[in-house]
Amino acid sequence: MPIYEYFCPQCNLKFELLRPLSQPSQNALCPYCHNDAERVFSSFASFSKGVEEVSAPIGGSSPCSTCSATSCTACRGFC
């Protein structure tokens, strides 16, 4: 079963659920407040083992939006 990501607009919680392939667009209940949550676009990352190589998330999502570092050097070039 694939993992789908959902977002609850009531409590701003983003969570994941395992769902059958037959139910990808079906809304889910938020595990925190139990209100309807909507499925959101999922991104994934690809990493390599090279010491000098830098990998970045694939799928159009920027890691900088959730980064708490004070400098991009802390992210090794991800930001």
Q: What pLDDT, on a 0 to 100 scale, did the predictor assign at position 76?
A: 52
Query: 4-63: per-residue pLDDT in tens?
Result: 899 999 999 999 999 888 887 788 999 999 999 998 887 766 666 765 555 444 444 455
Q: What pLDDT, on a 0 to 100 scale, did the predictor assign at position 3?
A: 87
Q: What pLDDT, on a 0 to 100 scale, did the predictor assign at position 60?
A: 45
**Domain membership flag for residue 53:** no
- Would you call 74 helix, strand, or coil by DSSP? helix
**Domain membership flag for residue 65:** yes
- Among residues 60, 55, 66, 58, which one has the least CA distance to residue 14? 66
Q: Which domain holds residue 66?
A: 3-45+61-75
**Domain membership flag for residue 26:** yes
The DSSP code sequence of 9-66 is TTTTEEEEEE--TT-TTS-EE-TTT--EEEEE---EE-----SS----EESS--GGGG
Q: What pLDDT, on a 0 to 100 scale, did the predictor assign at position 11?
A: 93
